[in-house]
Amino acid sequence: MKKSNICYKIGLVILMVGFLVTVSSCSKKKSRLDPMEAYPSETEISAAGEQGGDAVQTMTEEELEAQRIQEQEAVRIKEEARMNFVNDDVYFGFDDVTLTSSARMVLKQKVAWLRENPGASVLIEGHCDERGTEEYNIALGQRRAQSVKAFLINAGISASRLSSISYGEERPVDFGNNESAWGKNRRAHFKIQN
């Protein structure tokens, strides 16, 4: 009986050793639920790149330069549009606040810019030529600025983004004393405030 008891114990030890070997080898396998397994290692990424795999896409120097040039061009275009907005004045006839067809075309371009730049606020300056009294020209400049502001509001630009001021004859762009100079001074000018 002792012999069978020893065989039984040896068999039990062999079973336990086999079980432990099986369990320990299973624990060495990576679990499918391991979150780190979802991301390739740097070595795997590097190897895939060297083999032309899809894991890594690097840009060539030419592509980087082309991208840089494209970004610079976009910045240049945006700055040019901003400068056009500021520098394109709206002109008026003598003692008039009516918007001409050319003034409306300029204002339509300004509406487009304001829509593309919803954070921009604008100051509309009303200006006059030197003829007329100072008080009259201040009032005329204000009516000109208001005429422009009304057009922009009617085109859908929020009134909260627009303010106006009149300088009358105080800030001429041309100091001449003739119709050519006066025509340049009868204007609405725009300043971006932010």
* Any domain includes 30: no
pLDDT in tens, 2-20: 555 665 667 666 766 666 6
* Helix (H) / strand (E) containing 191: strand 187-192
Contact 187, 89 (CB under 8 A): yes
* Any domain includes 76: yes
Contact 83, 154 (CB under 8 A): no
* Any domain includes 37: no
Domain count, the chain: 1
* Any domain includes 174: yes
- What's the start-to-end Cα distance of the chain, in Å? 101
* Any domain includes 98: yes
Q: What distance in Å separates the CA atoms of residue 98 and residue 94, rounded to the nearest whole number?
A: 10
* Any domain includes 54: no
pLDDT in tens, 111-142: 999 999 999 999 999 999 999 899 999 999 99
pLDDT in tens, 41-98: 555 555 555 555 454 467 788 888 888 888 888 888 888 888 888 889 999 999 999 9
Contact 55, 45 (CB under 8 A): yes
The three-class DSSP label of residue 132 is coil
* Any domain includes 43: no
Closest by CA position to 125, among listed 103, 155, 149: 149
Instruction: Kindly report the number of other CB atoms within 10 A of residue 15's CB atom.
Output: 10
- Ranges of H-type helices in 38-98: 42-50, 61-87
Q: Which domain holds residue 74?
A: 63-192
Contact 190, 85 (CB under 8 A): yes
Q: What distance in Å separates the CA atoms of residue 136 and residue 128, rounded to the nearest whole number?
A: 10
Q: Considering all CA atoms of the chain, what is the largest pairwise distance in Å, rounded to the nearest integer?
A: 135
Entry pTM: 0.64
Crossing angle (nearest 10°) for helices 101-116 and 61-87: 140
* Any domain includes 148: yes
Distances (CA, A) of 146 to 38, 92, 119, 143, 149: 63, 13, 21, 5, 5
pLDDT value for 106: 95
| Token duo for residue 71 | 């970004």
**Domain CATH number, residue 148:** 3.30.1330.60
